[in-house]
A and B are shown apart, each in its own frame.
Chain A
Amino acid sequence: QLQLQESGPGLVKPSETLSLTCTVSGGSISSSSFYWGWIRQPPGKGLEWIGTIHHSGSPYHNPSLKSRVTISVDTSKNQLSLKLRSVTAADMAVYYCAGHGELGELNHWGQGTLVTVSA
């Protein structure tokens, strides 16, 4: 059973960089069957796609965040990472990592981690 677990600081200062890691267990992040993505959800609001990566390809990002986002995969550690630069209060959200197949079906989710942006 594939399991995903997000980790990282729960508090980030404005203008700094948010850095999160997602550790995948029960399967390989190098699997050709899976794409890996980050999704966020501001408190009380809906889901927003941040970006997606396949271990063998380039990442894809939400155009609204593209200039601030870096998504990468570390196959040696079976981890997915997210870096979001120059954060503001608008970036405060629960951040989820998730895995999906070629039909975009996000069928594996981490539990989510709340990131607060505050000085």
Chain B
Amino acid sequence: QSALTQPASVSGSPGQSITISCTGTSSDIGGNSYVSWYQQHPGKAPKLMIYDVGNRPSGVSNRFSGSKSGNTASLTISGLQAEDEADYYCSSYTSSTTLYVLFGGGTKLTVL
């Protein structure tokens, strides 16, 4: 199975909103799978930001939101802040007939 497709980079100014897309297939994103999003700052472990498409773990800002349409999932960050600058990864978790995890290639977010 191929990695999920994300744009290599996105950018925005403080206060603006940005959206990162994550495209898969009907076997993963568009199928019976769970989509999560992770934020990773340089030299750090990834941090869970969104799970099950649009749910936020406790402690994650409500500026982060997720959605899905067909084979594409999206992460939106509103009210951009300097500390949002990081790499973002989507993932698809399937556990029906077998268990499989796919990650996207990652998107570098630059806050201008």
Contacts and interface: CB of A to CB of B under 8 A. Distances in A.
Contacts, number: 67
Contact of B3 (A39, A46, A60, A110): A46
A47 B46 contact: yes
Interface in A69-119: 96, 100, 102-107, 109-112
Interface string B73-100: 0000000000000000101110100111
A18 to B, nearest CB: 19
Contacts of B69: none
A21 interface: no
Interface size class of B (residues with CB under 8 A): 20 to 34
A60 B97 CA distance: 12
A102 B95 contact: yes
Which of A96, A102, A105, A106 has the largest number of chain B CB atoms within 10 A? A105
A100 B99 CA distance: 13
Interface of A: 37, 39, 46-49, 52, 60, 62-63, 96, 100, 102-107, 109-112
A48 B103 contact: yes
B1 A63 contact: yes
A60 B91 CA distance: 16
Contacts of A46: 3, 89, 103-106
Contacts of A102: 95
25 contacts: A39-B103, A47-B38, A47-B89, A48-B103, A49-B91, A49-B100, A52-B101, A60-B99, A60-B100, A100-B93, A103-B36, A103-B52, A103-B93, A104-B33, A104-B36, A104-B92, A104-B93, A104-B95, A105-B36, A105-B57, A106-B36, A106-B38, A106-B48, A110-B45, A112-B45
